[in-house]
Structure 1
Amino acid sequence: MEKEFLYTNHTFCSLNKEESDNPQQILAELFDFAHLPELKQMLWDWLKTTVTGSYNKILSNRERTTILLLYEYLDKLLEANYLLHTELKKQEENKKEEQVHIF
């Protein structure tokens, strides 16, 4: 079954309940998976093999699996950042409302 990319009512496909409740956890998981230089190298390998069309020819099974795992982490990272962003916007709106009611 293909992954559904249409988010209606902001349904999250990648995050479980614990991750939705604590989106900062995704950052910890990502950097437990790999350090920044390794992540950057994986992204470069992903881009390079995708652009050249040599995905199956150059990378080993392990490297392809790593790229798929990286994709899953990045997908979760996007959702977690969306949650953090919407929470920040709510806090900013609440601050504005409080400032209006002060006077």
Structure 2
Amino acid sequence: MEEPLTKSASNFNFSGKTYNKHPQWYNQPLRLSEEQLDNPLLVLDDFFQCYHLNETRELLWQWLTAIISSPGSISSEPLERSNHIYFYEKIEEIIEAAFVLKTNRLSGDRNPPDYSSPLNSEA
């Protein structure tokens, strides 16, 4: 049995799986660098330089449909499928909120885009 960490890991740069039940890491960011911890908007900038909002929705949908419809899926029970759909919806909300934060920051909040129109173009 490994002993729990007793020293701060503030200079520790994590790489590997982020699912971790270690007591000191359980509810802490594991993938963010010190720079990203100091300025989390850097993560949003990087993410939306790699993926457009609609592309993200498409990838999330592909993941969800694979999880709930594949033979031998981890979601064979109705409650598990429901939980995955709920999680999917919440992740999509987080990504959309991040998109709004990033877009408003780039526009300087002077004239934020009108998101009420489905024809609005993405930044």
TM bin, normalised by shorter chain, reads: 0.3 to 0.5
More helix by share: 1
Q: TM-score when scaled to structure 2?
A: 0.38
User: Which structure ranks higher in relative contact order (CA pairs < 8 Å, sequence separation ≥ 6)?
Assistant: 1
